[in-house]
Amino acid sequence: MGEERKLSRREFLRIAIGGAAGLLVGGAAGYFTGSTLTRKVLEAEIEDLRERALLPAEKEVRVYNWSEYIHPYVLTLFKEEYEMETVVYDVYESNEELRAALAAGKDKYYDVIFPSDSYIPEFVDQGWIMELDFKKIPNFKFISDKFKNPPWDPENKYSVPYMWGSTGIGWLSNRIEEGVTDWNALFEEPYLSKYSKKITMLCEPADTFGAAFKYLGYNYNDDLGLPHIDEALELLKKQKPYVLKYADATEYIPSLANEDFWISLAWSGDVYVAMEDNENVVYTIPQSGTNIWVDCMCITKNAPHPDAAHAFINFMLRPEVMALNTAEVWYANPELEASQELVSEEILEDPGIYPPEEVIEKCDLSRPYTSEELEILSNAWAELMAAPGVKVWRL
């Protein structure tokens, strides 16, 4: 008798899941052998058992996510564990890009998407995302109560939270003599003239306008109807000649690290990725407050592989998978109890990632935008992009 080999944890999980399905499906086939039930009924029974075992019959899933927003090994784990033949994984850089893709019919191509909180009501109204079947997402139980039943999706009918964070300022401590503590670093002198063409804003309209709203003393999301959009637009037009670029994460992460960008409006976790390559990179939550946002997982209304999509979301909600993604992307996850023991103290104790309550009290939670507000924002963004200032930029 040879030496007994211990199974790796991944092998154990795969065998446990596959074995359960095999027993269920095999047992059903054995039970119904020789019965008067038709093959069609038998196949329906087997499919029902597959669903209860959370093993989709579909062997393909197509995911559309933000860039730099998942541990690459997670896709390999999912593919192996669920015996997927194909996992399509594409990325986008803004909610507007996702919105345009869905409007162009990509809801019939992709299965799982990751919209930000405030965009979900419009996606529901447009018929782009489906109601979720939580019988197929039992790992939703690991989500902390404070992230359930949010204002943008009461009862979580259409979405489950993925990661959360803040929008703040990434900057270089060896370049910015004055330091950065608040929004004035993006909108006032001496910063504008002194660091002209070293300042970048986000290519996400809601956040670039949000920073302007907050600097002007309003809620980051403005009031209902966006009554201060013109005031914010004028501020951003005055700032634009000093701005190098309206950048996305794939641009400002390496450009902060290699010091082409010196002050950047940015999302928290992305700046921490840049820190790994340059110790002079700092992330600051403005002292007057900012936005606390949540990115979510949804399934498109016309998803070609809805069962595989549910399985993917359920897999992503495993505490160990959540912790793995948090370690990779440096964003806080919404499983505040279940995954915390698996997240490093370095991340848990960093106030830029998990802000203390006194900081959160000064911040504004995202609210759902109406379709009319999104149209107002889109038009204002188009006017800003057409204004004089930023020309073609290349490294």
Same structural domain, 281 and 186: yes
Residue 6 DSSP class: P
Residue 30 has pLDDT above 60, yes or no: no
Distance (Å, whole) CA 235 – CA 188: 10
Residue 265 has pLDDT above 50, yes or no: yes
Same structural domain, 93 and 151: yes
- Spatial CB neighbours of 234, under 8 Å, sequence gap ≥ 6: none
Q: How many CB atoms lie within 10 A of CB 23?
A: 12
Residue 166 has pLDDT above 80, yes or no: yes
Ranges of H-type helices in the chain = 9-32, 39-52, 72-81, 95-103, 120-125, 184-187, 191-194, 205-215, 229-239, 249-257, 268-275, 306-316, 319-329, 345-348, 357-360, 371-386
Q: What is the pLDDT of residue 43?
A: 52
Residue 40 has pLDDT above 80, yes or no: no
Q: What is the pLDDT of residue 46?
A: 47
Average pLDDT, the chain: 86
The amino acid sitting at 141 is K
Residue 142 lies in a domain: yes
Dihedral pair phi/psi, residue 375, rounded to 5°: -70, -40
Same structural domain, 205 and 271: yes
Per-residue model confidence as pLDDT tens digits over 124-140: 999 999 999 999 999 99
Residue 53 lies in a domain: no
How many structural domains does the chain have? 3
- 24-38, 310-324, 328-342: the lowest-pLDDT one: 24-38
Same structural domain, 157 and 193: no
Same structural domain, 284 and 381: yes
Same structural domain, 154 and 282: no
Residue 393 lies in a domain: no
Same structural domain, 370 and 223: yes
Q: What is the pLDDT of residue 67?
A: 93
- 179-183, 187-191, 224-228, 337-341: the lowest-pLDDT one: 337-341
Give the pLDDT band (50/70/90) at residue 223: very high
Query: Is the model more confident about 38 or about 232?
Result: 232
Residue 22 has pLDDT above 70, yes or no: no
Residue 17 has pLDDT above 50, yes or no: no
Per-residue model confidence as pLDDT tens digits over 147-159: 999 989 999 999 9
Same structural domain, 288 and 252: yes
By DSSP bridging, strand 243-247 and strand 199-202 are parallel
Cis peptide before 190 (omega within 30 of 0): yes
Q: What is the pLDDT of residue 392?
A: 41
Residue 357 has pLDDT above 60, yes or no: yes
Q: What is the pLDDT of residue 52?
A: 46
Q: Which two tokens stand for residue 136?
A: 């197929």
Q: What is the pLDDT of residue 16?
A: 34
Same structural domain, 180 and 284: yes
Residue 69 lies in a domain: yes
Same structural domain, 25 and 112: no
Residue 394 lies in a domain: no
Same structural domain, 223 and 175: yes
Cβ atoms of 293 and 167 closer than 8 Å: yes
Residue 394 has pLDDT above 80, yes or no: no
Q: What is the pLDDT of residue 27?
A: 37
pTM over 0.75: yes
Dihedral pair phi/psi, residue 60, rounded to 5°: -145, 145
Dihedral pair phi/psi, residue 100, rounded to 5°: -65, -40
Dihedral pair phi/psi, residue 108, rounded to 5°: -95, -5
Give the pLDDT band (50/70/90) at residue 390: low
Residue 126 lies in a domain: yes
Query: Is the model more confident about 1 or about 167?
Result: 167
Residue 182 lies in a domain: yes
83: left (phi over 0), alpha (psi -120 to 50) or beta: left
Domain of 209, in residue numbers: 165-292+356-386
Dihedral pair phi/psi, residue 208, rounded to 5°: -65, -45
Same structural domain, 376 and 248: yes
- 3-7, 37-41, 98-102, 371-375: the lowest-pLDDT one: 3-7
Task: Find the length of the chain.
Answer: 395
Residue 326 lies in a domain: yes
Instruction: Report the CATH number that the domain containing residue 314 is assigned in CATH.
Output: 3.40.190.10
